[in-house]
Structure 1
Amino acid sequence: MSGRAKVRVRVGGAAFAALGALAGSLAGASAAGADDGGGLPYTQVEQVAKGVTYGQFTVDGAKGPVTGYMLTADLSDPRVRVNLLTPGAVAARAPVSQLADAAQAVGAVNGDFFNISEEHAGVTPTGSSDGPEISSGRALKAAVPNSQRFGPAMPPGETTQDVLGVGVDRRARLDRLALVGSVRTRQGSYPLGGFNQYALPEGGIGAYTSGWGTISRERAVCGSDTARGAACSTDTYEVTVRGGRVTAVADTPGEGAIEPGSTVLVGRDAGADTLRTLKVGDRADVGERLAPSGSHVPYTFAVGGFPVLRDGAALAGLDAKTAAVRTAAGFGDHGRTLYLLALDGTAAADPGLTVAEVADVMRRAGADDAVNLDGGGSTTMVTRTPDAPAATVRNNPSGVAERPVANAVGVFSTGR
């Protein structure tokens, strides 16, 4: 039987040398591949860079055959690292290939769901992601309230605080990152309900820094604790703090660049009442951090996404009916191997997978834990060999072109 062989493999931290041999054998093989009972049926495998491989496969979903692409990174290799790619501001978007090229990543997939559209008339979509973000060890934003997120339904018990992260020990983990912060004044100390996020809880106070960008902060006071489309609050107040002092106040959320070193506090409802007690010249100190719930190891990277696989088992309540183009990220080998998945977006030929099927694909790839990332028109995988001038888009995005996204998971390698 002629044609390219299908070989099923599981990729782990110790298997990258074998993958190189596999890539060569696939190019000239002529026998039909046997099923080893678990791995993915890769029909193409390439070494992108030292410790980083790319593979293509086809699996049968409930709606028909689906083409998938897997980027695998050996985090135990000191030449390999992972980081969050962003457009330079929390409230901004850019295509994955552009983000990868700017950072010189050797591979990337799109990241978290984001504020892509807006139900509130006259309010500008921010492009900001649902969940927490950490890039190069620096916290960029916290999670929006569960009721205000974009994306498909999460499994029972999961929250917008869920992340996949990589610690300073170079191991990947699933965790939750909660905002811990306060505004300290002479009148008292008040908790922060938001940090550079597009939606605040009712009665909350949010802190915005230069990392937010230039887009209006008005979206922060829209929606409610039960409905994303609920009306925008008209009871708002904004305070600018710099050097421990209030420097400006306003009745409504503003827009435009925030000066580095300044923090803008936005309050809605009871939070607005609290901020109204502050006058220009008053003392005010703002502090915030993202606190992990499951690890004492600081994170160098974290991206929001809801868990679909934990300890080798799919989570209960995963959608097993709705097939769509999807993206996922996971890890195996006790956090030493990272797997990034993107599906093909040509819906006529590739109908997509359900969330439950994505969990199974990640398990077959070798992941023990995984999260679902943004899908549909956002799903994009790119690779770039170290000598290439630009990244190559590997999957077929479902739109006519790459969709600008809020962030991406970038893989780097210093080896050639």
Structure 2
Amino acid sequence: MHRSSARLVAPGVTYGEFRMTVPRGIVHGHLLTVDLADPRVSVDLLYPGAVGARAPVSLLAAERGAVGAVNGDFFNITETQHPGVQATGASVGPAVASGRQLKGAVPDGQRFGPAMPPGATTEDVIGVGYDHRARLDRLTLRGAVLTAGGTLPLRGLNQYALPVGGIGAYTPQWGTVSRMRATCGTDTDRAAPCSRETTEVTVRHGRVTAVEDVPGSGGVPGGGVVLVGREEGARRLRALEVGEPVRLVSRLAGRGPVPLRFAVGGFPIVRDDEPVAGLDTVAVAVRTSAGTGDGGRLLYLMALDGAAGQTGLTVRELADLMVELGARDAMDLDGGGSSTLVTGDRYGATVRNHPSGGAERPVPNAIGVFSAG
């Protein structure tokens, strides 16, 4: 591998390029190295103000004044298998921004993206805790809908897909996109038909204001929540009456000792300096990855270049690359036409790689790097 001299983008943040030769040709990559031990540096989720919305990484970075960013999670990009149902643009895994828990993970069978290795789930994330250290973790939704007649289990939070028989909550952070997609597919088959048994309940200021048979669209008012149920969840919601008191409790529970202030979904490809078992060794694509090193004090953000004449990597090759770059643990993020790495200054954000589609693809979220220096 040939690596260019890294240049300082901002205090604690450097940018560099590298080239490597594989049997198929030349791989060109772009790397941001983030020193989280520097108190001036921070990392956060970039997103366009709503879970069900998309925007180019350069725009997300420029609007927040980020000094660097890469695209984030895989997302609900198309709905060709459900005619008439709107693709939400929402991401697959959990998301936490500035300490705010935005959404939970869809069922494994509802995800978009390459096959995950054995043992991985849609709950897997990479994030930075309140201890200022990056780590891989897993965020599980724990929650309930408290009603006058009893407690209903909460199985989703601002998700484009709900578990069969489940109830999901949609807050103002969801946005205005239709909630119909949440009742399509099954836990094991994303292409399965939409459920024929659904209910949507609107709650304002702790009281039920409407009970409908079909999930709707439009923004959720401040102080309100919309509950969507399918199958058994729909039947239980249908028992609620207008005026009945309802309260929602939810949290994303992690495995680490310190809560995550920022988190984005993906799937693990490196743990403890070694590629995880079962990674794909066949499909070649432009890819994005995020990794950690030095006990979580270093964060590596990498995107391959999609310019004509250059090749991509398999997921297994990506894992080997991240180890070579210094990552002890690493995640695979959305790739292909989504792969984008930018650097920013007071004049805006500059796209450093060539997106494989010829232009930036709007994405639901990105990892943003900030420096107070």
Residue 406 of structure 1, aligned match among 352, 359, 364 = 364
Equivalent-residue separation in structure 2 for 1:61 and 1:223 (angstroms): 39
Answer whether contact 1:61 1:352 (CA < 8 A) is retained.
Answer: no
- Secondary structure of the residue that 1:391 maps to in structure 2? strand
Equivalent-residue separation in structure 1 for 2:105 and 2:238 (angstroms): 25
- Secondary structure of the residue that 1:68 maps to in structure 2? strand
Q: How does 1:113-262 map to 2 (within 5 A)?
A: 113-118=74-79, 119-262=81-224
Residue 393 of structure 1, aligned match among 351, 354, 360 = 351
Equivalent-residue separation in structure 2 for 1:46 and 1:261 (angstroms): 46
Length, aligned pairs only: 372
Equivalent-residue separation in structure 1 for 2:321 and 2:368 (angstroms): 21
The residue number in structure 1 matching 2:228 is 266
Equivalent-residue separation in structure 2 for 1:44 and 1:395 (angstroms): 17
Equivalent AA in structure 1 for residue 341 of structure 2: M
Equivalent-residue separation in structure 2 for 1:71 and 1:48 (angstroms): 9
Residue 344 of structure 2, aligned match among 347, 359, 384 = 384
Equivalent-residue separation in structure 2 for 1:383 and 1:193 (angstroms): 38
Structure 1 runs, 4 residues or longer, greater than 4 Å off: none
Answer whether contact 1:380 1:397 (CA < 8 A) is retained.
Answer: yes
- Compute the displacement of 1:62 (Å): 4.1
- Asked if 1:63 is matched to 2:39, the reply is no
Equivalent-residue separation in structure 2 for 1:130 and 1:187 (angstroms): 32
Equivalent-residue separation in structure 2 for 1:254 and 1:323 (angstroms): 39
Equivalent-residue separation in structure 2 for 1:56 and 1:86 (angstroms): 26
- Secondary structure of the residue that 2:348 maps to in structure 1? coil
Equivalent-residue separation in structure 2 for 1:178 and 1:63 (angstroms): 40
Using structure 1 for the length normalisation, give the TM-score: 0.88
Equivalent-residue separation in structure 2 for 1:130 and 1:50 (angstroms): 33
Residue 239 of structure 2, aligned match among 277, 285, 288 = 277
Equivalent-residue separation in structure 1 for 2:35 and 2:29 (angstroms): 20
Equivalent-residue separation in structure 1 for 2:241 and 2:113 (angstroms): 40
Equivalent-residue separation in structure 2 for 1:360 and 1:260 (angstroms): 46
Unaligned runs of 5+ in 2: none
Equivalent-residue separation in structure 2 for 1:363 and 1:168 (angstroms): 26
Residue 84 of structure 1, aligned match among 28, 38, 45 = 45
Equivalent-residue separation in structure 2 for 1:63 and 1:221 (angstroms): 42
- Secondary structure of the residue that 2:236 maps to in structure 1? helix
Equivalent-residue separation in structure 2 for 1:313 and 1:155 (angstroms): 14
Residue 58 of structure 2, aligned match among 78, 97, 116 = 97
The residue number in structure 1 matching 2:264 is 303
Using structure 2 for the length normalisation, give the TM-score: 0.98
The residue number in structure 2 matching 1:7 is none
Q: How does 1:366-385 map to 2 (within 5 A)?
A: 366-385=326-345
Measured against aligned partners, the alpha-carbon deviations of 1:284-331 in whole angstroms (never above 9, x if no partner) come to 111111000x21201110000100000111000011121110000001
Measured against aligned partners, the alpha-carbon deviations of 1:131-189 in whole angstroms (never above 9, x if no partner) come to 00000011000000000000000000100000001000000111100000101112211
Equivalent-residue separation in structure 1 for 2:20 and 2:140 (angstroms): 37
Equivalent AA in structure 1 for residue 326 of structure 2: G
**Superposition RMSD in Å:** 0.9
Equivalent-residue separation in structure 2 for 1:73 and 1:296 (angstroms): 22
Equivalent-residue separation in structure 2 for 1:296 and 1:49 (angstroms): 30
Equivalent-residue separation in structure 1 for 2:77 and 2:327 (angstroms): 29
The residue number in structure 2 matching 1:323 is 284
The residue number in structure 1 matching 2:2 is 41
Deviates more, 1:204-213 or 1:181-190: 181-190
Unaligned runs of 5+ in 1: 1-39
Equivalent AA in structure 2 for residue 303 of structure 1: V
- Compute the displacement of 1:358 (Å): 0.8
Identity %: 62
- Compute the displacement of 1:400 (Å): 2.3
